[in-house]
A and B are shown apart, each in its own frame.
Chain A
Amino acid sequence: MIETKSLCKHYGSFTAVDNLSFCVEAGTVLGFLGPNGAGKSTTMKMLTGFLTPSAGSALVNGVDVSEDSLAARMQIGYLPEGAPSYGEMTVQQFLSFVARARLIEKARVVDSVNEVIERLNLSGVKHQAIETLSKGFKRRVGLAQAIIHDPQILILDEPTDGLDPNQKREVRHLIRDMARDKIIVISTHILEEVEAVCNRVMIIAQGKLLADDTPHGLIARSRYNNSVSLVVEAAEKVASVLSELPEVAKAELNEGELTLFPSQKQGLFEAVTTAISEHQWDVSALRLEAGRLDEVFRNITRGEISA
């Protein structure tokens, strides 16, 4: 379990993290979402004991990170931003170094290095110097060192940054695989990633916690939630007819696509389909929207919706 109490970090007069309190249970994949410079990385650095909080505290499985940093660090696997590693070492040397530093028993070091190399598909490059590898491989080496000791808590700062779509999928798959009994905290500014891997999202901006919800819950905050969009001939006429329906709160026409916003939770889609068949409109596309995360994100980080 990770618990923070009024965590703060100031740099002079600048407040990077402002009074952050939250609690994460095992089995959670928590996504820190926020614009650049929101305080995501700073929070992670405090959780891993790299930075000391200016005020407040962070507890990892009951251990205060600033009081017993060593004990806390033992339970954490950490991928720092940009996946730094020692470029002159080969993948195998580097992972062996981390394995020993992670206090894995001597007899197990070789095995755990091999396992993690296997797991992240690094066997082909294990004798290559890390600085000669592509960005995707470097990131995977970073992930490998974070999970080599099978930590209960994984903190990954932008784990898929710089990867191509296939590699992103692989990494997300890996994260979901490990998620069952662990706590995984990832930071990202990629919205689709949150939907793909997280079961909890915290939106942070200017060091403040603005929203703490499930991805579903967040999407449901969108004004597009349960709205219906259609592409139709003579859209303006259709719009004026449909806006008369009691289920429709508002109709918007945008680049040939007509979007209808619901006045109540249920029944809009049915009402629209009934109207379409009644009037025999020539509809070429029709869909019910769950909501748009990018719109929610924009609104929350601009302060238009409060938590």
Chain B
Amino acid sequence: MNGAVNVMRRELAGYFATPVAYVFLIIFLVMTGIFTFYLGNFYTRGFADLDPFFRFHPWLYLFLVPAIAMRLWSEERRLGTIELLLTLPLTTSGAVVGKFLAAWLFIGLALVLTVPMWITVNYLGSPDNGVIFATYIGSWLMAGGFLAIGSCMSALTRNQVVAFILSVVVCFLFLLSGLPMVMNLFNGWAPQIVLDGVASLSFLKHFADIEKGVIDLRDLIYFVLMIGFWLIANVVILDMKKAD
């Protein structure tokens, strides 16, 4: 656990020692702004809520989270620091969790920086702040799911571009697994239980549930399991393939 905290601190400091952090934060804020005001018609729709803001989060995360995650392990492989890190007396899972937490907190910070949006909507009307808070939590959890996938994909290769593309593809599949374009692949031949299973893996479905303002235990468990599964896969991949 100490090992994970130490790795997390190092990683977080690393984000701010390079332009990565600032570029990400600015792009994230600009993009959320564009999506909310132009595509989401924040003003003209006449409701005091943050739905136009949150609605685009899954699509924003689809590209921005893999961009953060792609370097987590590929860079360690490319620079050879993985050999340094994994010969320190800390467990592989400690290192994986540490890196994941650092990136997740960092995305959390990006979300916190959107709070002026929340303040604005309170100024313009009287929104249901409980729903907004719940959706923030849901959005952060969903980002964690994307991030765990990205971290795992990043452990597969020393090439960050490959890691990025792999993450986007896998995240995209999970994002859309409830929608017709994925469901059609299974329709007609797979039994109903498989269809339900695939549909219930959808990030969009679980996020939509949370967006309604009720944090259902099932949605929480879904994201936590998602994160857990991909991080365990991450550890297994690293243990199997440390060198090259």
**Interface of A toward B, CB cutoff 8 Å:** 45, 48-51, 70, 73-74, 76, 78, 80-82, 84-89, 93, 97-98, 100-103, 129, 145
A86-B81 in contact given A101-B89, A101-B90, A103-B89 (Cβ < 8 Å): yes
Give chain B residues whose Cβ lies under 8 Å from the Cβ of A73. 87-89
Question: Which one of B12-20, B61-69, B149-157 is at the interface?
Answer: B12-20
Give chain B residues whose Cβ lies under 8 Å from the Cβ of A86. 10, 14, 81
Q: Which of A48, A73, A85, A100 has the most CB of B within 10 A?
A: A100
> Do B10 and A89 touch across chains, with their CB atoms under 8 A apart?
yes
Tell me the chain B residues, 17-73 only, with Cβ under 8 Å from chain A.
17-18
Q: Mark interface residues in B189-218 (1 if CB within 8 Å of A CB, else 0).
A: 000000000000000000000000000000
> Do B88 and A129 touch across chains, with their CB atoms under 8 A apart?
no
> Do A50 and B242 touch across chains, with their CB atoms under 8 A apart?
yes
Task: Please name 6 pairs of A and B residues whose Cβ atoms are closer than 8 Å in the assembled complex, sorted by A.
Answer: A70-B90, A73-B89, A89-B13, A100-B2, A101-B89, A102-B89
Chain B interface residue count, Cβ-Cβ cutoff 8 angstroms: 23
Give chain A residues whose Cβ lies under 8 Å from the Cβ of B90. 70, 101
> Do A80 and B87 touch across chains, with their CB atoms under 8 A apart?
yes
Q: How many contacts between A and B, using CB within 8 angstroms?
A: 65
Sample of 13 more A-B contacts, CB < 8 Å, known A50-B87, A73-B87: A48-B87, A50-B86, A70-B89, A70-B90, A70-B91, A73-B89, A78-B87, A81-B80, A89-B13, A89-B14, A97-B6, A97-B9, A97-B10
> Do A85 and B242 touch across chains, with their CB atoms under 8 A apart?
no
B221 within 8 Å of A (CB atoms)? no
A45-B88 in contact given A84-B81, A86-B81, A101-B3 (Cβ < 8 Å): no
User: How many Å from the CB of A263 to the closest CB on chain B?
Assistant: 51
How many angstroms from the CA of A7 to the CA of B3 in the assembled complex? 30
B181 within 8 Å of A (CB atoms)? no
The 6 closest A-B pairs by CB, nearest first: A84-B80, A88-B17, A80-B83, A101-B88, A73-B89, A84-B81
> Do B3 and A45 touch across chains, with their CB atoms under 8 A apart?
no
Give chain B residues whose Cβ lies under 8 Å from the Cβ of A78. 84, 87
How many angstroms from the CA of A80 to the CA of B80 in the assembled complex? 8
How many angstroms from the CA of A297 to the CA of B116 in the assembled complex? 71
How many angstroms from the CA of A14 to the CA of B243 in the assembled complex? 15
User: How many Å from the CB of A47 to the closest CB on chain B?
Assistant: 10
Q: Which of A45, A78, A80, A101 has the most CB of B within 10 A?
A: A101
Give chain A residues whose Cβ lies under 8 Å from the Cβ of B18. 88
> Do A84 and B17 touch across chains, with their CB atoms under 8 A apart?
no
Choose among B6, B14, B79, B87 the residue that contacts A100 (Cβ–Cβ < 8 A): B6
> Do B84 and A145 touch across chains, with their CB atoms under 8 A apart?
yes
> Do B83 and A50 touch across chains, with their CB atoms under 8 A apart?
yes
Give chain B residues whose Cβ lies under 8 Å from the Cβ of A70. 89-91
**Interface of B toward A, CB cutoff 8 Å:** 2-3, 6-7, 9-10, 13-14, 17-18, 79-81, 83-84, 86-91, 242-243
Choose among B6, B9, B84 the residue that contacts A80 (Cβ–Cβ < 8 A): B84
User: How many Å from the CB of B161 to the closest CB on chain A?
Assistant: 20
Give chain A residues whose Cβ lies under 8 Å from the Cβ of B88. 73, 98, 101-102
How many angstroms from the CA of A102 to the CA of B90 in the assembled complex? 8
When C-beta atoms are compared, the residue in chain A nearest to B239 turns out to be A52
When C-beta atoms are compared, the residue in chain A nearest to B14 turns out to be A88
Give chain A residues whose Cβ lies under 8 Å from the Cβ of B2. 100, 103
Q: Which of A84, A89, A103, A145 has the most CB of B within 10 A?
A: A84
User: How many Å from the CB of A187 to the closest CB on chain B?
Assistant: 14
Give chain B residues whose Cβ lies under 8 Å from the Cβ of A84. 79-81, 83-84
Give chain A residues whose Cβ lies under 8 Å from the Cβ of B10. 86, 89, 93, 97
Give chain A residues whose Cβ lies under 8 Å from the Cβ of B13. 89, 93
Q: Which of A82, A86, A93 has the most CB of B within 10 A?
A: A86
Q: Which of A73, A97, A129 has the most CB of B within 10 A?
A: A97
> Do A74 and B17 touch across chains, with their CB atoms under 8 A apart?
no
How many angstroms from the CA of A54 to the CA of B84 in the assembled complex? 21
How many angstroms from the CA of A154 to the CA of B13 in the assembled complex? 29
When C-beta atoms are compared, the residue in chain A nearest to B91 turns out to be A70
A101-B6 in contact given A50-B243, A51-B243, A84-B81 (Cβ < 8 Å): yes
When C-beta atoms are compared, the residue in chain B nearest to A98 turns out to be B88
How many angstroms from the CA of A272 to the CA of B148 in the assembled complex? 78
> Do A89 and B17 touch across chains, with their CB atoms under 8 A apart?
yes
User: How many Å from the CB of A141 to the closest CB on chain B?
Assistant: 11
> Do B80 and A51 touch across chains, with their CB atoms under 8 A apart?
no
Give chain A residues whose Cβ lies under 8 Å from the Cβ of B89. 70, 73-74, 101-103
How many angstroms from the CA of A263 to the CA of B6 in the assembled complex? 65
A49-B6 in contact given A84-B81, A88-B18, A129-B17 (Cβ < 8 Å): no
Give chain A residues whose Cβ lies under 8 Å from the Cβ of B6. 97, 100-101
When C-beta atoms are compared, the residue in chain B nearest to A78 turns out to be B87
Give chain B residues whose Cβ lies under 8 Å from the Cβ of A76. 87
